[in-house]
């Protein structure tokens, strides 16, 4: 298997999600939870608390992760179903300003929401029809950690009915950045 290197890793995550929903793991049939997302182990793709992910997406089936790259630049996804319930990319190199500007231009017409300033610069969006149809939910942030710019991008195939997907993505990004800081010994926002 060829090693993925960003920006190729992020492009692969984007391109691998271009089809419609298919064989997602089953959703729970219990009523929608309005519980607050909590940061707790274990984690999916190093950064997303599995329990919180299952809470907000309603996915109850088995999930494995497939990651490639390095600690500096890489990608991870949960390939148990198509489309992948979760896709995630992280990078320490690249023109993050241009990446965000391109996303902002493309997603403004879809009601992209600017992230709170404590998460750096970024946006969260739901694009029901378009290139991300398989994973129509995306949150991306350029943030500082240890004095260097970092980029985290997360893609989701679904959110549980009744959940506020944008708010949930922002909270998952908040957790992912804190987790990033713990894993790589840096302080997010500094």
Residue 128: pLDDT band with limits 50, 70, 90: confident
Helix (H, G, I), strand (E, B) or coil at 181: helix
- Segments making up each domain of the chain, as ranges: 8-23+41-183
Q: What is the pLDDT of the chain when averaged over all its residues? A: 85
Residue 134: pLDDT band with limits 50, 70, 90: confident
Q: Give the whole-number percent of the chain exceeding pLDDT 90.
A: 70
Element (H, E) at 167: helix 165-183
What pLDDT digit, counting tens, does each position of 6-56 carry?
Answer: 443 343 333 333 333 445 555 444 455 668 899 999 999 999 999 999 999
Exposure of 8 by Cβ count < 10 A (0-12 exposed, 13-18 middle, 19+ buried)? Answer: middle
How far CA 149 is from CA of 33, 67, 73, 95, 188, in Å, comes to 35, 22, 12, 10, 10
Q: What backbone phi and psi angles, to 5 degrees, belong to 3?
A: -75, 135
DSSP, res 90: E
Q: How far apart are CA 108 and CA 123, in angstroms?
A: 10
Residues paired with 126 in a beta bridge: 137
Evaluate if residue 125 carries a pLDDT over 90.
Answer: yes
Evaluate if residue 188 carries a pLDDT over 90.
Answer: yes
């Amino acid at each position: 298997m060829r090693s993925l290197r960003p920006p190729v890793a992020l492009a692969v995550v984007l391109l691998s999600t271009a089809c419609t929903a298919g064989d997602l793991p089953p959703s729970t049939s219990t009523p929608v939870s309005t519980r607050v997302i909590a940061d707790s182990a274990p984690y999916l793709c190093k950064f997303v608390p599995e329990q919180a992910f299952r809470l907000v997406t309603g996915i109850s089936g088995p999930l494995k992760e497939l990651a490639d790259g390095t600690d500096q630049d890489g990608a991870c996804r949960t390939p148990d179903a198509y489309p992948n319930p979760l896709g995630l990319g992280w990078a320490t190199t690249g023109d993050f300003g241009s990446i965000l500007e391109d996303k902002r231009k493309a997603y403004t017409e879809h009601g992209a929401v600017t992230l709170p300033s404590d998460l750096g610069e970024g946006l969260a969006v739901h694009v029901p029809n378009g290139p991300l149809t398989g994973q129509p939910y995306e949150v991306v942030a350029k943030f500082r950690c240890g004095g260097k710019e970092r980029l985290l991008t997360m893609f989701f195939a679904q959110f549980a009915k009744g959940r506020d997907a944008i708010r949930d993505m922002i909270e998952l990004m908040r957790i992912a950045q804190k987790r990033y800081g713990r894993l790589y010994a840096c302080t997010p926002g500094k």
